[in-house]
Amino acid sequence: MLKGVSAEINKGELVCILGPSGCGKTTLLRIIAGLETADQGKVIIDGKDCTMLPPAKRNFGIVFQSYALFPNMTVEQNVLFGLSQQKDLNKAQQRAKALQVLALVDLLEHKNKYPAQLSGGQQQRTALARAIALSPGYLLLDEPLSALDAKVRARLRLEIRKIQRELGITTIMVTHDQDEALTMADRIIVMNNAVIEQVGAPRTIYENPVSTFVANFIGTMNFYKNYAGTFGVRPENIELTKNHLPGNFWTGKVSSLEFKGAMIRVYSKLHDNLEICVDLPAEKAATLELKENDTVYLKAADRHLLQYADVQEAV
């Protein structure tokens, strides 16, 4: 059940609908596709009211999380299946178009294989090729990468983005993976509990999350309360030393250290048991020789402080 959801998507951009599972993002996508009908509200595409239009008349391509490749057809036949319905193309033109999109997703050499003979990434690209073969007006991607290994996923993010730019096709992608949204999208629509929390460019959303939910869902945010209200600050925007600092600062005790490769995340407990985490470059952490129970001093610049009305439950 979506509540008062309203968003505009511009021609040629890639928009990510980001949110935790069950937030209504897939429902929104299916309504845009016409696979489900909204009880209220309108879907307007190219200035036309398409709310009651069946999917076939909306001119979109779609890739599902499961890919839904036809297992009894080869890669090429999967792509040709839709093309064969296009009466204005003759057989040779249909075939040429199929080969063209297969070249675009770099699957030409695998065109005679069946889906069961492909790797996950190749299956994903087949689904993408099938979706763009009919040159649709817009492209819908429903969690297209979540069935893949981390490495393959990272590579395909770039590939999908590249193809999307080449074709200049308006794309709406649903995902629950914040990294995916931040790296791929022109704009992100953050959803939670069936409402839109924030719409904006990735950088804006990261630097200026309008709600504590967005702040917590995208990246990590420390929250604290004082007489002036609730404030949030990102872990990488806090300065940490072992010596006293000038001006306002917090004093804390290191409770644990988390090794994250290039970064070390330092958790420290303040006097009132509030836990604050700080991200330090590994090199700096090494020179500080931090250990558990060390006393540390923390400070954040005012420009990094974000004020919130209230703290929502983090997900």
Partner 1 sequence: MKLNYNKMLRITNPSQFILMSVLTSAFLAGMVFPLFSLFIKAFQDSGGSFVGLSNYVNYFSQPALFYSILNTLNVSLTTSVVSTILGFAYAYALKRTNIKFKGFFRYAALFPIFVPTVVHGIGLILLFGRQGILTQLGLEIELYGRIGIILAGIIYTFPQAFLMFYVTLHYADGRLYEAADSMGCNALTKFLRITVPEVKYTLVYSLFVCFTLAFTDFGAPKVVGGGYNVLATDLFKQVAGQFNFNMGAVVSTILLFPAILTFVADRILIAKNYSEISAKAVELKVNKNSLRDGLFFAVCFLVVAFFLIFIGALVVNAFMRFFPFERCFTLEHFRFGRAFGGMQSFVNSISMSLLTAVFGTIFVFIYTYLIEKGKGMNPLKKLGRLLSVTPIALPGMVIGLSFIFFFNSSSNPLNFIYGTVIILVLANIVYFYAVPYATASGALKKLDKEFESIAESMRIPSWKILSKVSAPLSLPAILEIFMYYFVNAMVTVSAVVFLYSADFKVASIAITHMAGAGNFAQASAMGLLILIVNLIIRSMYELYLYGIKKQADKKGADLPDD
Q: How many CA atoms lie within 13 A of 309 on its CB side?
A: 3
State which residue, 54 or 168, has the beta carbon closest to partner 1.
54
For 33-86, give the DSSP string. HTSS--SS---EETTEE-TT--GGGT-EEEE-TT----TTS-HHHHHHHHHTT-
State which residue, 78 or 312, has the beta carbon closest to partner 1.
78
Q: What are phi and psi of 246, to 5 degrees?
A: -75, 155
* Residue 199 backbone class (left: φ over 0; alpha: ψ -120 to 50; beta: rest): beta
State which residue, 36 or 275, has the beta carbon closest to partner 1.
36
State which residue, 114 or 297, has the beta carbon closest to partner 1.
114
Piece of the chain touching partner 1 by CB under 8 A; list 144-152, 212-220, 293-301, 307-315: 144-152
Taking residue 157's Cβ as centre, other Cβ atoms within 10 Å add up to 17
Shortest distance, CB of residue 44 to partner 1, whole angstroms?
Answer: 15
State which residue, 134 or 167, has the beta carbon closest to partner 1.
134
154 touches partner 1 (CB under 8 A): no
Taking residue 289's Cβ as centre, other Cβ atoms within 10 Å add up to 8
For 214-254, give the DSSP string. HHHHSS--EEEEETTEEEEE-GGGEEEESS--SSS-EEEEE
Site for partner 1 in 164-223 (CB under 8 A): none
Site for partner 1 in 6-35 (CB under 8 A): 33-35
148: CB partners within 8 A, 6+ apart: 120, 121, 124, 156
Site for partner 1 in 36-75 (CB under 8 A): 37, 52, 54-56, 58, 60-62, 64, 66, 68, 70-73
Shortest distance, CB of residue 60 to partner 1, whole angstroms?
Answer: 6
Shortest distance, CB of residue 62 to partner 1, whole angstroms?
Answer: 5
137 touches partner 1 (CB under 8 A): no
146 touches partner 1 (CB under 8 A): no
State which residue, 56 or 309, has the beta carbon closest to partner 1.
56
148 touches partner 1 (CB under 8 A): yes
Q: Distance (Å, rounded) from C-alpha 225 to C-alpha 270?
A: 13
**In the numeric block, which tokens belong to residue 129?**
């090729």
Shortest distance, CB of residue 45 to partner 1, whole angstroms?
Answer: 14
**Does residue 199 contact residue 15 with C-beta atoms inside 8 Å?**
no
Q: Distance (Å, rounded) from C-alpha 56 to C-alpha 292?
A: 61
Shortest distance, CB of residue 248 to partner 1, whole angstroms?
Answer: 51
Among 220, 178, 206, 125, residue whose Cα is nearest residue 17: 178
93 touches partner 1 (CB under 8 A): no
Q: Distance (Å, rounded) from C-alpha 51 to C-alpha 73?
A: 33
111 touches partner 1 (CB under 8 A): no
Shortest distance, CB of residue 24 to partner 1, whole angstroms?
Answer: 18
Among 95, 114, 231, 236, binds partner 1 (CB under 8 A): 114
State which residue, 60 or 250, has the beta carbon closest to partner 1.
60
Shortest distance, CB of residue 183 to partner 1, whole angstroms?
Answer: 19
State the Cα angle at 76 between 71 and 81, rounded to 5°.
75
Among 217, 163, 153, 161, residue whose Cα is nearest residue 186: 161
| Interface positions with partner 1 (CB under 8 A) | 33-35, 37, 52, 54-56, 58, 60-62, 64, 66, 68, 70-73, 81-82, 85, 114, 116-122, 130-131, 134, 136, 148-149, 151-152
